[in-house]
Amino acid sequence: MVNGLERYEFQENCVDFLFDKTTATGTKQIVTVKAPTGAGKTVILVKYVDTYLKNTDGKTAFIWLCPGKGGLEEQSKERMDELAPHIDTRALMYSMLTGFEGRSVTFINWELVTRKKNNALKEGERKNLFDKIEEAHQDGIRFIVIIDEEHENNTSKANDIIEAFKPEHIIRVSATPVKVPHQEFYEIPEDEVIDAGLITQAIYVNEGVDEAQKVESDYDYLLDLADLKRKEILGAYESINSDIRPLVLIQFPVGQPETIAAVEEKLASMGYTYDNGFVNIWMSDSKIISDDLTAKNGTPAFLLMKQAVATGWDCPRAKILVKLREGGKPDFQIQTIGRIRRMPERKHYGFPGILDFCYIYTLDSEYKNDLLTSLDKAYQVRKLFAKPKVRDFSLTKEMRNLDIDSGVGEREMLQKVYEHFKTKYHLTSRTTENQLALESAGYSFSHEIDSKILQGAFKTTTDLANASSSKKIDIKTKINTHSHGIYLMHAVDEIKTITSIPAQRVRNILQRLFRKGKKNKFKLVSLNTTDFYAFIINNARLLKQEFREIMATESKQITFLDFAKTATFTIPESELYKFGVVKKIKPMSKNAYQGYTNEFITSDTRKSTPERLFEQYCEGVDAIDWVYKNGDAGQQYFSIVYQDGFSLKQWLFYPDYIVKMKDGTVWIIETKGGMQAGHTKNIDIQVQNKFTAFKDYAERYGVQWGFVRDIDDELYINNTVYTDDMSGENWVALEDVLK
């Protein structure tokens, strides 16, 4: 019996679903539960484990995996001990000492067993863990693995741990899982959790933000609004004789010291400091937490945080979230909103209505669900082992030589950027006319930071994530070169990620092109300092695309011997592959790995059409001995060095396939998007530079090679002259070449 809990129908329904699926025959191995924050996820799992253990033969052991942040495994164990003290709960080290036994629940810190650099589990202990798991199997123990907060965990990285348990079922629980066909799926409707009074009736976003008012300072503006709302909520609690004190969460996406200091200074001017206890901070490198922070009448009114408290932290008095901009991508992870949605007394008050809502203040422009779009997280993986006949195969792979600077100087880079803008937009030496030309091409020359932000009330997080543009308002923020310097830095950093050159060089180039100052022949537009800040911040996305295009210009690849390092590539002994559901499983005998089937090339698990078509084609070619699918990144995979057309920096690309013919010939194949309705589907802007480097590599080492693309499910190969247009004679039917 689970102690002292109010019964909620949606929780009981979820427990029944889990019990039915994990005791029935023919159920899919993975059972995924989507549970809104505040639905009582831990309570549901405790009730399920209790129900299962009381109604089965006692030969099952549960493994409860939790993310390492915040000690969630300890919190979950304590919660189970509180609710169901009759259940045998254990820490990992105890089970490693005594063994995994039936009717036990072992709580494991996920990072303890998966992080390569984590010394908490030494090599000897890790071996002992696998030994104890095997002993349990020999004793007839079955395992069910619960993955708590599954959005925090990457199954491909920890697959060897889960695989060792050989679980009959894996139960994954999160507020934002991905629904995939090879899993059982159950969703607790958010409306039912709201109707039960466990979470707020609605989420108010940017209440009181005035579209007509020009913002002088993000921090001042948002914190003033948040404190005004905090006082209003406090007054409403007092009006019903409640001693609950509302808490404001202030989230820093990056946690820049300058931003934190500015917020601390603003709060101090309002009378809130660390010294008087009204301010707490919870960061990875700074933590000042009052003993009564989570108490319903706790003293702290503001908590400064990053993502550290987003998982496994419960403070139902938190009612307001201020999310600050620190540059970078202007989006907001809805997962964090769960921190302010819980009702402190697990009920709605009705009047005054302000107490039944939560509030968000942010000038970020987008909200999004923290959905698991990564295939590593959304799909199962299976470990396959290389066939004996491929283990002696080797190739020379190229690696970057970081001891040699193969790049060009800042002036040469400036010249390339200048010529790009001049040619693309027909610019001249007349800066005023140039500004008009760029403006007509879509560039903003606003004097302020322009933002479109959401405003309104949303019942569910899904409603918030799918908010229409009609819910957005325009906000203008006056440029302050001191406080907005970090915005400029992040805009420059975004471009730097494309070019790989230092941020200061990028900034220097932009200043020479667009900022007023000493006359130079590269000046395109002459902006004063504040307008330059606004221009770069407002146009960061466009500028990033310009630099992408410049990088893609064809580079004369420097002779290989000038810079590249080499090493011997061999096919990895084992590999993890994502797999999906197919109606009929068919072995793919040409693949280099044993057990490879068509499950690994479904449209869900392999998004690339030419890759799927190529593997299917190879299956039907008798002259092919085997086919190896290369990885996308990593030192264990086959790579070739190429240079971009801007900085001439060294980059690596990883050709998709190595094909060994029965006559000993080796083909190396790179697949790209083909043509559809006369338009190219290729999205790789570096394709020309890769093609040239690939061609040079093949000539040096005497291998066959080619780029393969598709038209209407037919494959064509090219190893002569690259063109996006596939109508020329350089694109030849694959069946005429690789046969």
DSSP 361-428: EE--SEEE------HHHHSEEEEEEB-GGGTT-EEEEEE--TTS-----HHHHHHHHHHHHHHHHT--
Tell whether the model's pLDDT for residue 117 goes beyond 60. Answer: no
Spatial contact of 471 and 465, defined as CB atoms under 8 Å apart: no
Sort 497 into a burial class: Cβ within 10 Å, 0-12 / 13-18 / 19+: exposed
Tell whether the model's pLDDT for residue 544 goes beyond 80. Answer: yes
Answer whether 202-368 and 377-402+558-736 agree in fold.
Answer: no
Bridge partner list, 91: 107
Residue 186 is predicted with a pLDDT of 96
Bridge partner list, 652: 641
> What CATH topology corresponds to 202-368?
Rossmann fold (3.40.50)
C-alpha distances in angstroms, 521 versus 243, 330, 424, 431, 439? 68, 35, 18, 11, 21
Nearest CA to 575 out of 592, 598, 589, 587 is that of 592
**Percent residues over pLDDT 90 in the chain:** 54
Spatial contact of 124 and 144, defined as CB atoms under 8 Å apart: no
Q: State the Cα–Cα distance between residues 721 and 560, nearest whole angstrom.
A: 20
Residue 372 is predicted with a pLDDT of 35
Tell whether the model's pLDDT for residue 474 goes beyond 70. Answer: yes
| Polymer length in residues for the chain | 739
Sequence-ordered list of residues with C-beta below 8 angstroms from that of 623, at least 6 positions apart, any chain: 661, 662, 663, 739
Residue 417 is predicted with a pLDDT of 92
Mean per-residue pLDDT, 455-476: 82
Q: Provide the pLDDT confidence category of residue 664 given band limits of 50, 70 and 90.
A: very high
- Any alpha helices (H) in 84-213, and if so which ranges? 92-98, 110-114, 123-138, 159-165, 190-195
Just give the CATH number of 377-402+558-736.
3.40.1350
The structure's pTM equals 0.73
Pick 631 or 377 by higher pLDDT. Answer: 631
Tell whether the model's pLDDT for residue 370 goes beyond 50. Answer: no
Residue 445 is predicted with a pLDDT of 96
Over the chain, what is the mean pLDDT? 86
Residue 355 is predicted with a pLDDT of 95
Query: Measured at the alpha carbon of residue 631, what is the angle toward residues 629 and 633, in degrees to the nearest 5?
Result: 160
Tokens of 92: 């990992």
Residue 615 is predicted with a pLDDT of 95
Spatial contact of 557 and 689, defined as CB atoms under 8 Å apart: yes
Residue 640: other Cβ atoms inside 10 A: 24
Residue 390 is predicted with a pLDDT of 95
Choose the weakest-confidence range: 119-128, 337-346, 488-497.
119-128
Spatial contact of 716 and 674, defined as CB atoms under 8 Å apart: yes
Residue 116 is predicted with a pLDDT of 54
Tell whether the model's pLDDT for residue 327 goes beyond 90. Answer: no
**Percent residues over pLDDT 70 in the chain:** 87
C-alpha distances in angstroms, 524 versus 104, 205, 438? 71, 41, 10
Is 3.30.360.10 the CATH number for 9-195? no
Domain boundaries, the chain: 9-195, 202-368, 377-402+558-736, 410-552
Mean per-residue pLDDT, 619-629: 96
Mean per-residue pLDDT, 630-646: 88
Choose the weakest-confidence range: 165-179, 303-317, 467-481.
303-317
Residue 128 is predicted with a pLDDT of 81
Residue 310 is predicted with a pLDDT of 45
DSSP letter, residue 557: P
